[in-house]
Structure 1
Amino acid sequence: MKLVFDERMVRHIREARIAEHGRDSRLLALAERLLANPLLRWPLGIFEHVAGFLLALPIPLYAGVVGFVATHMRGLPAYGGMYVRALYWRRKLGRMAPNVFIDQGVFFAFPRAVRLDEFAYIDKNVLLMSRTVKVGRRVHIAPRVFVSGGGDFEIEDYACIATNTNVITSTEVLADGARCSGPMVSAAQRKVFRGKVLIRRDAFIGAGATLLPGVEIGTGSVVGAGAVITRATEPWGIYVGAKAVRLGDREPVRHGDDP
């Protein structure tokens, strides 16, 4: 039975602690050993299954209160709220792999169309409003990232989006005399383009960048802070400035995948 956080997550936290502070934690070391023990995993897995079921019960008023409390419980560096949200969202999302962090204030517009892979981290106050969402392994979506609705969004393994970035998956098109004031105009008066925004593996999106509908960020590509991306970027290219000028190339990643 898969736990929401298993011994690999505890090991990851231990390794980060050692790298940053130069010291280990006996408590975390003990937790890692216990979670690797099948005799503990089964009862804990049953508890998580029951707790998740109770948290996700679709009872009017109860569901609203539970959802509000779970969403707004304190996030990192505290782990209690992270654990409750993992239990809650595992029952609500289309697919949520083990060892996924969902922090405080995250909003999913279409939960059943969301797929989150192992060790993905959706940081504080991220809004994911696109029609579909697919997040790969070891991805970090930083605080206050906004992914707009209408189109599709995918970010592949080991990619990152920095804070305050806007990913636009649909937009009004200023053509054929159409109005552009948004969804409250009758459909006959609008012209809307919906596209998939795809961020390839190992790419990095800098703070405050904007990605427009239909763009593909190439493998390992770097988008500088504040850049506006209107067309596909090349693998391992570095793009800076409001007009996203290619500055040069980034050295390809030389590390293997984490287990």
Structure 2
Amino acid sequence: MELVFNHRMFQHINESAIKERGRASRAMVMAEKALRYRALALPLALFEHLVGFLLALPIPIYGGIVYATITSMRGLPHFLGMYVRALYYRSKLGLMEPNVFIDQGVFFAYPRQVELKEFSYIDKNVIIMSRTARVGRRVHIAPRVFVSGGGDFEIEDYACIATNSNIITSTEVLKDGARCSGPMVSADQRNVFRGKVLIRKDAFIGANATLLPGVTVEPGSVVGAGVTVAKDTAPWGIYVGAKTQQLGERQPVKWPDN
């Protein structure tokens, strides 16, 4: 039984504060030290599981009020909303490891098909409507990213999607005289392609980029701002421009995983 935020999260916050501001918060340092003691961490974990269970009870009206309240609570730099959402979503999602941030206004269409690994951060107003969603460790999905429904979505460890990007997991195919005006058209008049969008380890998707169904962004690839990706990239390639041209290659990551 684990805490939603254990000492590793506070260690991470403290290390970031020291690097950016030259010192860490005294309260955060105390929290990191205290949560290393199992005698304190275990009773707190039991309390968290009880609260999370109560918050996630599927009771009509109550469930709606809880959801609306929790999703609207302020996010970072305020900590309380992040903590309460972690308690709630750990009971709602298919898998949620410790030390995951879910910010204000996030929406999961199929929560039981969502997996979030440790130190992933789903930022403000992200919408994930894909049939399945798997998010790796140390991943950041920035504000207002939209993952469309129908297909599957996976982003591996240490990858990132910048703000306002679109991940399209299904689309209408214009062939055989099919209509293309969406889900309210009769099923026999549509030709729908549903694919998996896979963003591999250490890849970076720039702001306002669009990834089309079936695309794999290979390890370390950089997709520039505003680029539309319709076919697989090359590992460590840098892609820019309206024609998605490969500009060059980036230097491979030198750091070990942590």
Match of 1:124 in 2: 124
SS in 2 for 1:11: helix
The Cα of 1:205 is off from its aligned counterpart by 0.2
SS in 1 for 2:248: strand
Structure 2 Cα separation of the partners of residues 81 and 162 of structure 1: 22
Structure 2 Cα separation of the partners of residues 181 and 126 of structure 1: 25
Match of 1:57 in 2: 57
SS in 2 for 1:59: coil
Match of 1:252 in 2: 252
SS in 1 for 2:47: helix
SS in 1 for 2:51: helix
The Cα of 1:94 is off from its aligned counterpart by 0.2
Structure 1 Cα separation of the partners of residues 242 and 209 of structure 2: 9
SS in 2 for 1:137: coil
Structure 2 Cα separation of the partners of residues 193 and 148 of structure 1: 13
Structure 2 Cα separation of the partners of residues 244 and 227 of structure 1: 6
Match of 1:166 in 2: 166
Q: Which runs of 5+ in 1 are unaligned?
A: none
The Cα of 1:143 is off from its aligned counterpart by 0.1
Match of 2:112 in 1: 112
SS in 2 for 1:238: strand
Structure 2 Cα separation of the partners of residues 161 and 241 of structure 1: 18
Match of 2:80 in 1: 80
1:23-60 deviations in Å (ceiling 9; x for gaps):
12221111101111001011101110110011001110
The Cα of 1:158 is off from its aligned counterpart by 0.1
Percent identity among equivalent residues?
70
Amino acid at match of 2:74: R
Amino acid at match of 2:78: A
Q: Alignment RMSD, CA only? A: 0.5
1:124-181 deviations in Å (ceiling 9; x for gaps):
0000000000000000000000000000000000000000000000000010000000
Structure 2 Cα separation of the partners of residues 195 and 85 of structure 1: 30
Give aligned pairs, total: 258
The Cα of 1:248 is off from its aligned counterpart by 0.1
Structure 1 Cα separation of the partners of residues 199 and 124 of structure 2: 20
What is the correspondence of 1:180-191 to structure 2 with a 5 Å cutoff?
Answer: 180-191=180-191
Match of 2:38 in 1: 38
Q: Which runs of 5+ in 2 are unaligned?
A: none
SS in 2 for 1:246: strand
Amino acid at match of 2:179: R
Structure 2 Cα separation of the partners of residues 208 and 241 of structure 1: 12
Structure 1 Cα separation of the partners of residues 51 and 196 of structure 2: 35
1:49-97 deviations in Å (ceiling 9; x for gaps):
1100110011100000001101110000000000000000000000000
* 2:33 matches 1:10: no
1:78-125 deviations in Å (ceiling 9; x for gaps):
000000000000000000000000000000000000000000000000
